[in-house]
Amino acid sequence: MSPAAAPPAADAAANVAAEVAVVGGGLVGGALGLGLARHGVKTVVIDKLHPTAGISPTFDGRASAIAAAGHKLLEGVGLWAHLAEKAEPILDIRVSDGSSLLFLHYDHRALGDGVTNEGPLGYMLENRHLRDAIARGLESAHGNLTVIAPDTVQGLSQSADAATLTLASGRTVTAKLVVAAEGRTSALRDAAGIALTGWDYPQTAIVATIGHERPHQGIAHERFLTAGPFAILPLKGGHQSSLVWTEAAHLAQHYLALNDADFIAAIDERVGGFLGQLTLVGPRFSYPLGVQFAHTYVKSRLALIGDAAHAIHPIAGQGLNLGLRDVGALIEAIVDAKRLGLEPAHASVLERYERWRRADNLLMAGVTDALNRLFSNDIAPIRIARDLGLGIVNRIPPLKKFFMRHAMGTVGDLPKLLRGEAL
């Protein structure tokens, strides 16, 4: 499918059959579809947008921190070849609390053996480059992968043998398993009656890209301010960074409405001058913040992944990484079952996937919620305690290495693709 070409007119009588139908071809759903097809699973990816619709810098403006384990998964599903030249290695992470002299510093060299190191802590990638890589992958895929986009799901019915999706174009897709990857507002999840628990934060994320006089040197900064975390994340080239500025929701619109000079001045006040003169690159964006998690990730012939299953505060930059863990776990569960002659929606597959991912995702939701509440205030006793905590962790190498490995996503029961192993 050419990036410039419109999708072919749908035949109302056409029926596409596959083993797995992935609804949602974004960062998580697209990676899942490509990974399944690459491992011999006949897959259909359905998305409401053309695959190239999200590659403009004005689409959403966000960038994602890809942990070291997520990087291995992107290699395993064939996407990293399209991303390597656009990725900025994260060499250091510096965490500070306002103007406190105590801080936490993660240096990737600390995980080495003194001669070699394990590589970067992760990579920064603009989301538009991730979407472009997925679009390229979807366009070049053959055999096991069918892409239907743009199109939307109008209904889902099930029989004893399969699930059938009815699309707005009149086409139907029949599959053994349907995967909901449409994000926080998943219609398939809601139609299946899967309940959610969640809440909104009184915060808004202001997202922008800045240029700066001095190079960032591959360092990601997380500064905890009274309103919430202020992240300065290195982008490719050395002189641009992505900002995720968490601000009180009732003040965010004030900052968004400022002219460019005043907006940069507000950013410069929070950055602190260490990057030299700042400029604004591209438009500004804002996103309301909240947390939610589905009460179950699976139902008869349906599985949830990514934000359809869980959505967290961006305080630790782990949202997409959790989705990539979902991808690795679901691919492995399906591929292992197929080798045993079981279908993708077999009870053992769905139970294994949910058991593998639910506890990890709930733990991260709890940790990010607690961190946000702990640091988004200026209560003196709490501020002193958290500053001492940062300083203590920074001075205990074994403890610091443990937290570094958590940030890299290399702790816990990882799917093989996230360990860099073949299935």
Tell me the pLDDT tens digit for each residue of 92-102. 999 998 878 77
Q: What's 10's DSSP letter?
A: P
Rounded Cα–Cα distance for residues 29 and 216 (Å): 32
C-beta separation of 172 from 166 below 8 A: yes
Q: Amino acid identity of 257?
A: A
Quick one: pLDDT at residue 117? 61
In angstroms, how far is CA 1 from the centroid of its own chain? Answer: 26
How many residues in total does the chain contain? 423
Residues 164, 174: Cα–Cα separation, whole Å = 4
pLDDT at residue 374 in the model: 87
Q: What is the pLDDT of residue 348?
A: 97
SS3 62: coil
CA dist 227 and 176 (Å) reads 47
Phi/psi region, residue 94 (left: phi>0; alpha: psi -120 to 50; beta: rest), is beta
Map residue 328 onto helix, strand or coil. Answer: helix
Instruction: Give the integer Cα–Cα distance in Å for 357 and 240.
Output: 35
The C-alpha atoms of residue 268 and residue 12 are separated, in whole angstroms, by 56
* Residues 302, 250: Cα–Cα separation, whole Å: 39
Q: Rounded CA gap, 297 and 357, in Å?
A: 9
Pairing of β 163-167 and β 172-180: antiparallel
What per-residue confidence (pLDDT) applies to 6? 37
pLDDT at residue 255 in the model? 97
CA distance 131 to 63: 11
Residue 351: its pLDDT value, please?
A: 98
Contacts of 165 (CB under 8 A, 6+ apart): 21, 23, 46, 153, 155, 156, 172, 173, 174, 175, 178
14: phi then psi, degrees, rounded to nearest 5:
-70, 135
- The pLDDT, as a whole number, for residue 142 is 74
* HSE-CB of 69 using CA atoms within 13 angstroms: 27
Q: How far apart are CA 313 and CA 322, in angstroms?
A: 12
Angle at 360 between CA 107 and CA 243, to 5 degrees: 45
Predicted local distance difference test score (pLDDT) of residue 253: 96
Q: Which two tokens stand for residue 251?
A: 């003040």
Rounded Cα distance between 423 and 407, Å, is: 24
Tally the C-alpha atoms within 13 A of residue 356's C-alpha that lie toward its C-beta: 24
**pLDDT score of 113:** 54
The confidence score (pLDDT) of residue 275 equals: 97
Peptide bond into 150 cis (omega under 30): yes
pTM: 0.93
**Residues near 296 by Cβ (< 8 Å), separated by ≥ 6?**
194, 354
Q: Which run of H or E residues covers position 311?
A: strand 310-311
Residue with token string 């907006």 = 263
Tokens at 400, concatenated: 């610091």
Up-side HSE of residue 13: CA atoms within 13 Å toward CB?
0
Side chain identity at 217, as an amino acid letter? Answer: Q
Phi, psi (5° rounding) for residue 334?
Answer: -70, -45
Beta strands 122-126 and 163-167 are unpaired
| Strands 219-225, 92-97: pairing kind | parallel
pLDDT in tens, 8-43: 444 544 889 999 999 999 999 999 999 999 999 999
Residue 101 CB: number of other CB atoms within 10 A?
8
Taken in order of first residue, the domains within the chain and their CATH numbers are 15-87+123-197+292-376+412-419 (3.50.50.60)
Nearest residue to 38 via CA among 116, 139, 188, 145 = 145
DSSP H/E element including 248: strand 240-248
Over residues 108-118, the pLDDT tens digits come to 988 865 545 67
- Residue-by-residue pLDDT tens, the chain, 423 positions: 333 333 444 454 488 999 999 999 999 999 999 999 999 999 999 999 998 888 888 888 999 999 999 999 999 999 999 999 999 999 999 999 887 877 899 999 888 655 456 789 999 999 999 999 999 998 877 789 999 999 999 999 999 999 999 999 999 999 999 999 999 999 999 999 999 999 999 999 999 999 999 999 999 999 999 999 999 999 999 999 999 999 999 999 999 999 999 999 999 999 999 999 999 999 999 999 999 999 999 999 999 999 999 999 999 889 999 999 999 999 999 999 999 999 999 999 999 999 999 999 999 999 999 989 888 887 888 888 888 888 888 888 888 888 888 889 998 999 999 999 999
CB 249 within 8 A of CB 228: no
